[in-house]
Amino acid sequence: MKYLFANWKMYLNFSESMILANQLATMSYDTEKIQLGLFPSTLAFTEVEKLFRGSPVCVGAQNVGWTPKGAYTGAVSAQMFKEAGATYALVGHSERRYIFGETNDDVKKKFDACLDVGIIPILCIGETKEDLEAGKREYRLKKQLMTVLEGVSKDAQFFVAYEPVWAIGTGEACDHLQAAEIHDVIKDELNTYTSQSIPVLYGGSVNDENVVFYLPHQSIDGFLVGSASAERDHVHSLLAAVLAA
């Protein structure tokens, strides 16, 4: 099984989200080989979830608040997303960390909140260009994992998405051999915290042209795709590439 998770970020407004969702709803593919997940904006979430309810396509949240309810203007809690039908939620995406200032502790709270309500969190980790150039890639990734996973139940279900910050939205994807090597490092590190086989996804300027280079690597379990997932033809090409691998 390979995973293809489409993070629509803030690329699509409500009507654009529904147009794409309806296009994807008519698309056929081998659901035993691919798990497709969609992460629409909060405004579009409930309608997209209703469209795919009962289907093999899962719908997730791009971000969650860690407190169930309360005086948190603008926040939508993990509990609220669960009640609305969310299967997954992204936590710790690099844009949340480096644009909105979320700390490792914030990510830990959101991760735990997802587990508490039965949402499967997708923990996003990645190094900056400065980390890479300073030889601190593994240090950064291991620290991000440790802060969130220390003390988590060894039976907890979650995903990890490796998304080098310097590759997000830049068109400068991580070399597939390096990505596979880092995925091996991440999986070795995960053995410290869990007894589960945790899927590790690659994200960072993935598109329908370069995805074929990552597919042969067993350590890469799937992809978290940004801008390339916001167009019907690109999603179709990504699905076709994964199925052909």
Q: Does 236 participate in catalysis according to the annotation? A: no
Residue spans of alpha helices (H) in 103-175: 104-117, 129-133, 137-149
- Among candidate residues 93, 95, 102, 183, the one labeled active-site is 93
- Among candidate residues 127, 163, 176, 183, the one labeled active-site is 163
Q: What does the DSSP 8-state code read for residue 165?
A: G
Q: Any residues with CB less than 8 A from the CB of 49 and at least 6 apart, and which?
A: 59, 84, 85, 86
* CA–CA dist 45, 52 (Å, integer): 11
Task: Provide the CA 194 distance to its chain's centre, in angstroms.
Answer: 19
* CA–CA dist 20, 234 (Å, integer): 11
**Closest CA relative to residue 42, chosen from 92, 69, 2, 80:** 80
Instruction: Cite the active site residues.
Output: 93, 163
